[in-house]
Amino acid sequence: SQQGEEDPQALSIQEGENATMNCSYKTSINNLQWYRQNSGRGLVHLILIRSNEREKHSGRLRVTLDTSKKSSSLLITASRAADTASYFCAVPNSGNTPLVFGKGTRLSVIA
Amino acid sequence: DGGITQSPKYLFRKEGQNVTLSCEQNLNHDAMYWYRQDPGQGLRLIYYSQIVNDFQKGDIAEGYSVSREKKESFPLTVTSAQKNPTAFYLCASSYLAGGGLGTDTQYFGPGTRLTVL
């Protein structure tokens, strides 16, 4: 069955550095989504990339998708302490069923 | 303000009790979802609904029940049959854009943290 898996599980960087997290999945997809979750809060949608797109930007976020490797990466440039959160990728499952979420990458940005 | 609300924020349950978590949205979304999140873990799907008076089981439906009597509301009942209910519960909704549930962006509520005493 479909599964999204983020790597690394946890990442700690200094403010101003770039943060890169990756997502791998098992079966073919038509889109991949990234969400952010602040501690103790709900998830917030960040970006959706379709299978015919290789790269997409939104502000300081850059997402890439390599369907041949079944993987995606999320890059946050010039990170800020406020970027500290968990980041989840979500991929479609088979049939008309909801997204499948990974376990997330916990990002800590140290001021 | 458009959005999705969950109440209560914190809920304590004694063993053997049923409790109901509220989820309301005013986004006019057709689909609604319930997820469970354990510490350091991802989201696991409990139930989802695409239309009023219809819902489907997710991956971990045992010990939970839902209803969808109104488009805006999707309450979740945690029954006494759920042996380990302590967790963070998230409700979400999405607009059915026609490409399937797996292509729709989900909007999440703030969550309810349930603790069994």
Determine the Cα–Cα distance for residues B112 and B91; give it in Å rounded to an integer.
9
> How many pairs of residues across A and B have Cβ atoms under 8 Å apart?
65
Q: How confident is the model at residue B97 (pLDDT cuts 50, 70, 90)?
A: confident
Q: What is the pLDDT of residues A38-71, one digit of tens each?
A: 999 999 999 999 999 999 999 999 999 999 999 9
* pLDDT tens digits, B14-58: 988 999 999 999 999 999 999 999 988 889 999 999 999 999 999
Which position has the higher pLDDT, B41 or B8?
Answer: B8
CB neighbour burial string for B14-43, b if at least 16 within 10 angstroms, e if fewer: eeeeebebebbbeeebbbbbbbbbeeeebb
- Shortest Cα distance, chain A CAs vs residue B80, angstroms: 25
Q: What pLDDT was estimated at residue B21?
A: 97
Cα of A84 vs its chain's centroid, Å: 14
CB contact (8 A) between residue B42 and residue A91: no
The answer, yes or no, to whether residue B1 has pLDDT greater than 60, is: no
Among B46, B51, B103, B107, the strongest candidate for a mutation testing the A interface, having the largest count of A CBs within 10 A, is B103
